A = this chain, B = another copy of it.
Amino acid sequence: MINVTIWNEFLHEKQHEEVTRVYPDGIHNALKQGLANEQFNIRTATLDEPEHGLTEEVLNNTDVLIWWGHMGHDQVEDEIVERVHARVMAGMGLIVLHSAHFSKIFKKLMGTGCDLKWREANEKERIWVVNPAHQIAEGLPEYITLDHEEMYGEHFDIPAPDELIFVSWFPGGEVFRSGCTFTRGQGKIFYFRPGHETFPTYYNEHILKVISNSIFWAKPTKTATPVRGNHQPLEQL
């Protein structure tokens, strides 16, 4: 059983009618339902809850954290960001969705600006699998088509990903590295591009399959925690 916590700022859905229509219970609950699986134990957390719903207890019992944020990035307390960061260092998986490229936690983990080109024009997106051997591509066709998405374009200001799994095509002439893995500390991180709040992307079976695959991929590896600091020789010097 993998303990999954889906965090969503849950602001657009309460403020913008066109978003409410698509995700009446919030993106987090749409994902919770879409990802339901007997191997996942899923809970949700949102910005407005005490400690944004990410208490020490919740995080200590989270194997994989999914993060969706956009207009509320700045409202996330630095203390909570540090707490999430510490848990990633200790092995918790982190799945960063769409506009969370600009979240405090992602920028802190990447060490770069994480900016990109964007356009809200209700365009088609084709997401090509460029690493068909990867566990996160399990069960997918050669490409996923989303008829309605926001465009994100290069240059995406991230470190070179450890693994590049997806590249997106947009009709306006742009491309984007839309599925990227990173390791930080003992934690595994997956950035996945699609999911603008005004489109029903998180009901798409292929998109849900990718996120589901990434949960299995990102779950903690139970290895000895590295000892650091002053170290006695293992061999007779």
Please report A residues at the B interface, Cβ cutoff 8 Å: 89, 91, 108-113, 115-119, 121, 123, 126, 128-135, 137-142, 151, 153-157, 159-160, 162-164, 167-169, 171-175, 177, 182-188, 221-235, 237
Q: A115-B229, A132-B155, A222-B139 given as contacts; is B234 within 8 A of A172 (CB)?
A: yes
B171 touching A235, Cβ below 8 Å: yes
- 5 A-B pairs (CB sep. < 8 Å): A117-B230, A119-B231, A159-B183, A159-B184, A174-B233
A187 touching B154, Cβ below 8 Å: no
B140 touching A224, Cβ below 8 Å: yes
Q: A183-B160, A224-B141 given as contacts; is B118 within 8 A of A229 (CB)?
A: yes
CB distance from A141 to the nearest CB of B (A): 5
B133 touching A154, Cβ below 8 Å: no
A154 touching B167, Cβ below 8 Å: yes
B154 touching A160, Cβ below 8 Å: no
A231 touching B138, Cβ below 8 Å: no
- A222–B151 Cα gap in the complex (Å)? 27
